[in-house]
Structures are given as C-alpha cells and as structure tokens.
Amino acid sequence: MLGVDDITAGYGEVDVVHDFSMRLDDGEIACVVGPNGSGKSTILKSIVGIVKPRRGRVVLDGYDITGLEPHETLRKGICLLPQGRTAFPMLTVIENLQMGAYIVKDSGEVGQRLQRAYDLFPVLAERRNDTANKLSGGEMAMLCIARALMSNPKVILLDEPSLGLAPKVTDHVYEKISEINEKGASVLIVEQNVRKALKTTDYAYVISLGRKKFEGKSEAVANDDRLRELYLGGGEHESKKQ
C-alpha cells in the first residue's frame, strides 16, 4: 500500500532523516519509534508532501507520489493527523468534522461519513453542537482522529496520538485506532509512547538520529535489547525540528 524508499529529508541545509525505507501493507498497522528528535515527524511530513524529500521516493498503491503537495496526497488517499490538538477551537464539533470532508462534494456522502464518525466516537455525537474549545483533551483527540477519517483515507498517519493524554484516555484512543485498522485502513503511528505503540501494532521501525537502526515484528522489537540500549544509553540529542 505505502512504500518509502531511501528518503533523505530535512529543513534548510540540514538533513534530519537519512536514507530511510519502510513498507506498510494493505490493512497493516505499523509504527516508527525512537527518542525525541530522531526524525519521526519528518518522515510523516515527507510522505504527505509538507517536507519535500531531497532523495528517494514515496509510492502509494503503485504510484509515485514523491513531492506532491499535501492537498494532492490527501486526494490520493493519505491523511496525516499532526502532533498536538489541531481542531479549530471556535468551530463546533460538527463543523470541524465537515472541514475534514472538504474534498467531498456529495452532501449525502458527507452525512454518511458523519454518522460513521459518531458511531466510532459516540461522545462526539453528544457534543456535536459544542465548540471544540469546550472539549476535554481526550475528546479533542477523538475529534481530530474522526476529522481525519472524514476524507476516507486508505492510509492514516498519526503523529504522537497519545501526546498529553492520561493513561486511561490513551488506552481508549488506541482501542479506537485498532478499530479503525480493523475496518480496513492501513495505519502508521509515530510515537514516543513505545510500550503502547508496540503493543498495538504489527510491525515496527526503530530510528535514532534520523537513521533506521532495526525493524521487525512489534512483539520481537519490544523484547530486543537494542531498544532498551537506545533509550537508556543517553546517546540521543534533541533536535529543534523533529
């Protein structure tokens, strides 16, 4: 479904990601984990076209989408949920969801997608007329995920979905991510909550300082001594731009 082949990308003259490759199969849920500042978010931004790869290519469903603009990659079927809570605070829940379907011209189809969002997150149906700034952190996270789903993506990219959430809320959000995957969407998660990411996903890529260190089935990666050494060894330095 999604192939990333030896991409190098960064900001200004600085390369943040170096020769990174990965595969996401149809219906698979995978993650990219690594210490803060290791380039995880830059990988996602390179896939959707926010950051243009200097080298390498990105392929979706057999088509080269390298360097397309974000609105073009969205129409191709990839949706990125950025890090942090990105809802429009003064718009209502339903208005935020409708913004997620701006590429859909059929109002009947928008209505069907709204209903699917409400079925997945019933609390959003209850609060559909409330402005987003009145939601709790967990409800805001659910709204952002639901809005991303309004474009009916083939692949959904999630950047730090547990950021700032209490453990119980994180568990609930990840349950919903698994449910989304079970319904057919391929999912790629970038996450610092390594334990939760590896418990939820099928396959994992581990990076450090912008380079892939190793990869494998998530269960095997979780028990790999190299993962513990990476996080406990103290060899990472934070980057100003991830």
CATH value at residue 28: 3.40.50.300
pTM of the complete model: 0.89
Residue 41 pLDDT level (bands cut at 50, 70, 90): very high
Residue 130 lies in a domain: no
Residue 205 lies in a domain: yes
Residue 53 lies in a domain: yes
Residue 143 lies in a domain: no
Confidence at residue 3, expressed as pLDDT on a 0 to 100 scale: 96
Confidence at residue 238, expressed as pLDDT on a 0 to 100 scale: 37
Question: Cβ atoms within 10 A of the Cβ of 69, count?
Answer: 12
pLDDT of 241 > 50? The answer is: no
**2 phi and psi, to 5 degrees?**
-130, 130
Residue 18 lies in a domain: yes
Residue 105 lies in a domain: no
Confidence at residue 231, expressed as pLDDT on a 0 to 100 scale: 77
Question: Cβ atoms within 10 A of the Cβ of 163, count?
Answer: 15
Residue 99 lies in a domain: no
3-state SS, residue 240: coil
What proportion of the chain, given as a percentage, has pLDDT over 90?
A: 76
pLDDT in tens, 145-202: 999 999 889 999 999 998 888 999 999 999 999 999 998 899 999 998 899 999 999 9
pLDDT of 135 > 60? The answer is: yes
Structural domain count, the chain: 1
Q: Which residue has the higher pLDDT, 233 or 172?
A: 172
The domain containing residue 211 runs over which residues? 2-85+154-232
Average pLDDT over every residue of 202-225: 95
Tokens 């809005």 correspond to 147
Query: What's the mean pLDDT when you consider all of the chain?
Result: 91
Confidence at residue 104, expressed as pLDDT on a 0 to 100 scale: 86
Confidence at residue 240, expressed as pLDDT on a 0 to 100 scale: 39
Residue 159 lies in a domain: yes
Rounded distance, CA 80 to CA 95, Å?
Answer: 19
pLDDT in tens, 103-128: 888 889 999 999 999 999 999 999 99
Confidence at residue 232, expressed as pLDDT on a 0 to 100 scale: 64
